[in-house]
Amino acid sequence: MGKTIVIVGGQWGDEGKGKIVDILTGDADVVCRYNGGNNAGHTVVVGTENFKFHLIPSGILHRSKMNVLGNGVVIDPEVLIGEIEGLASRGFSVSEKNLSISSSAHVIKKSHIEEDEKKGRAIGTTGRGIGPCYVSKISRSGLRMMDFIKSSSPYANRLKPFVKDTYLIVNNAISNGKNVLLEGAQGTLLDIDHGTYPYVTSSNPIAGGACTGIGISPKSISSIIAVLKAYSTRVGSGPYPTELGTENETKSEDRDLGLTTQDFDGANKGNEYLQGKVLRKQGMEYGTTTKRPRRTGWFDCVAARYANTINGTDGMAITKLDVLTGLNKLKVCVAYDTGGKRIANFPLDIEVLSRCRPVYREFRGWQEDISHARKLSELPKEARLYLDALQNLTGTPIAMVSVGPERSQTIILKKKLLF
């Protein structure tokens, strides 16, 4: 009996979903992308090679898997073809045998990109035409792949063999007992309906979006895994209660300069900006697609509980635990304070969220290199206590822990939730 697993981002995106999807793809038969466009990016490390994906599911690296771009994805043909050709130049053949594009997926036009560049910057969009394309889709004036490939343009001719009614591929796989993996772009707190509106994306990254973005029944889903960093990050504008330093400090930072002893000393003496800088530099927190520096902050259990509620999360995959190495003290947000009132639930009112200040619980950090740990018992006591706290404070078990970017640098804790 096969399984259908949904991988969602449990924060503001950039949680490391690419690596988690890449690991699980080894046991999957079909790998699907269900939302977003090339405003997203996944980085996968295989040995000494780095692969950056913007549209194609990272399952393409496993060669024999069928990869699907669902109807919920919006596609820039030029970008997609560039990605296909880039993979081919590195020895990964992409054909209709391992990639299918939904005939109902909408096409990003140059006019969408131009509009986004003019209007989207105010809320921190990537300027790649994603939002305007979704606007065209909802206003029923969009261009679908099934119609795009009827044109005689070189891009249309190149993509035509890939375009199919993909709902049949995915549902047949489920009916035939195959393992199906569904990956979302961005994260729960960027969801158009459930995120920090208006500082959100234009699609539904949440688990429910997997059903509408691919065309499957909710009853088909076996488990939902939310990916969260051991700290948090956010790109672009919008409220961010646990942010370390300010957005302006992050923007003005020289990304080419590494960390110094003084940076660590200042961070361990309580300088919040330097704490955020350590997380950003050690975590290489720069956008896969945009190269923008990410705002960094402590793990937010209030936001995580909200995300786990919205998604019905069965288990969490905690990534980048190794990035916390070297900090003497770690903090976890357990509640918000707003005007002297303590709240434990995530507020949907953006003005209220902007006034929220984190209520922290402190934990001891560790100095040991944990990148070689392959079992929970091989982690320092402080790291194990930190993970226990994340489970207890969010009310959700941890299924996987990542201690480095490579496939092997992963600790599996709840195999029954996986393939």
Where in the chain are the domains? Answer: 4-228
* Residue 252 CB burial class (10 angstroms; 0-12, 13-18, ≥19): exposed
Q: Going by C-beta distance under 8 Å and a sequence separation of 6 or more, which residues neighbour residue 139? A: none
Q: For residues 414 and 399, what is the distance between their CA atoms, to the nearest angstrom?
A: 4
DSSP state for residue 294 in the 8-state scheme: P
SS3 133: helix
Question: What is the C-alpha separation between 309 and 341, in angstroms, rounded?
Answer: 23
Judged by phi (left if over 0) then psi (alpha if -120 to 50, else beta), residue 58 lies in alpha
DSSP-derived secondary structure letter, 419: -
Q: Distance of alpha carbon 242 from its chain centroid, rounded?
A: 19
Can 42 be counted among the known catalytic residues?
yes
- The DSSP element (H or E) to which 335 belongs, if any, is strand 329-338
Q: Tell which CATH architecture fits domain 4-228.
A: 3-Layer(aba) Sandwich (3.40)
372 labelled catalytic = no
**Sign of the torsion angle spanned by Cα atoms 332, 337, 342, 347:** negative
99 contacts: CB under 8 Å, gap ≥ 6: 56, 60, 66, 67, 68, 69, 84, 162
Strand 49-53 to strand 299-300: parallel, antiparallel, or no bridges (unpaired)? unpaired
23 with 33: CB under 8 angstroms? no
pLDDT of residue 289: 65
* Rounded distance between C-alpha atoms, residue 75 and residue 226, angstroms: 25
Task: Identify the pLDDT of residue 39.
Answer: 82
Contact present, 204 and 212 (Cβ < 8 Å): yes
Q: How far apart are CA 323 and CA 367, in angstroms?
A: 11
Encode 198-207: b = buried (16+ Cβ within 10 Å), e = exposed: ebbbbbbbbb
213-to-65, 75, 400 alpha-carbon distances in Å:
20, 13, 26
**Nearest CA among 289, 131, 303, 110 for reference residue 200:** 131
**What's the CA dihedral at 45, 46, 52, 54 to 10 degrees?**
-110
β-strand 4-9 against 74-75: which pairing, if any? Answer: unpaired
* Per-residue pLDDT, 352: 97
Q: What is the pTM of this model?
A: 0.94
Cα 89 from Cα 271, distance rounded (Å)? 46
Catalytic one among 14, 29, 191, 300? 14
DSSP, collapsed to helix, strand or coil, labels residue 156 as helix
Torsion of CA 44, 45, 51, 53, to 10 degrees: 10
**Of the listed 22, 29, 42, 322, which one is catalytic?**
42
Averages of pLDDT over each 10 residues, the chain, 419 residues: 97 94 94 92 77 87 91 97 94 94 98 88 79 97 98 96 98 98 96 96 97 98 98 94 94 87 95 97 84 93 98 98 97 97 97 98 98 98 98 98 96 97
Q: What is the pLDDT of residue 229?
A: 98
Q: Which helix (H) or strand (E) segment is 75 a member of?
A: strand 74-75
Q: Whole-angstrom Cα distance, residue 126 to residue 121? A: 7
Contact between residue 39 and residue 261 where contact means Cβ atoms under 8 Å apart = no
Residue 24 token pair: 């699980």
Q: How far apart are CA 18 and CA 13, in angstroms?
A: 11
Rounded Cα distance between 100 and 33, Å, is 11
Give the residues across from 106 on adjacent strands. Answer: 74, 144
**Any residues with CB less than 8 A from the CB of 177 and at least 6 apart, and which?**
1, 2
